[in-house]
Amino acid sequence: MSRHITRNEIERENQEILSTGYCTMQNLLKGKYRTAYNSGVYGWNFDVYQIGTTAIITGYRTFKGTIGANYQLIKKYDDKANVIISDRNISYKEQIEKINNLLHELIERLKNPPLKDIFKATYSLTAFGGIGIIDIENDIDDFCVTAFYSADEKGYINIERKRKNKIFYNASGDAYINKNGQRYYINEFMRTDI
């Protein structure tokens, strides 16, 4: 039986919180029962599913979790779970086992995303860090969102100082960004997207 829970209780009781929209992970959560729910003056807000040390929150009115929700990646895994559910040649028990494996794999990937899930391109400054382009915005002037990143000995990526940078062009038409007086040419960035 699920219990009513508040946001403060969720944050106090869980090390990791993954917050997604309503039905975003419906196939991945097949066979799971909500452990708690939240409701307020406007009715039901969200359900909470406990997966190991991670609380997964799904609903209409959720809050920002401690794990970044990459919706494209979540949809990709949820679609894989849907294929498993649709396969009538395997038993229900096997389906749930395979879906659980997918869910745990997704949580691990969201907790420790590879560079290609974070940056569109990177420029290595050292073996353990560099500059990453997160997004490129096209309006009257071209801008890109960049961040310095570093990796610790376990390979976890720490993103520092996210900034919006104007893209400049030299006389030859080569695009670059200016960071601390240093020019970094866009064509020297290594592409990381798939």
Domain locations along the chain: 3-111, 116-191
Q: What is the pLDDT of residue 98?
A: 94
If you average pLDDT over every residue of the chain, what do you get?
Answer: 79
In the prediction, which pLDDT does 2 show?
82
For residue 131, the one-letter residue type is I
List of the chain residues with pLDDT < 70: 1, 113-129, 134-142, 151-161, 190-194
pLDDT at 83: 93
Q: Check residue 193 and give its pLDDT.
A: 47
Please name the amino acid found at residue 12.
Answer: R
Note the pLDDT tens digit of each residue in 167-188: 888 888 788 887 777 887 877 7
pLDDT in tens, 41-55: 989 999 999 988 888
Residue among 19, 181, 22, 175 at smallest CA distance from 107: 19
Looking up tokens 């990526």 gives 157
The C-alpha angle with vertex 22 and arms to 19 and 25, in degrees rounded to 5, equals 70
Which residue has 């020297």 as its token pair? 188
The number of CA neighbours under 13 Å toward the Cβ of 113 is 18
Predicted confidence at residue 94, as pLDDT, reads 93
DSSP, collapsed to helix, strand or coil, labels residue 79 as helix
Distance CA 57, CA 48 (A): 5
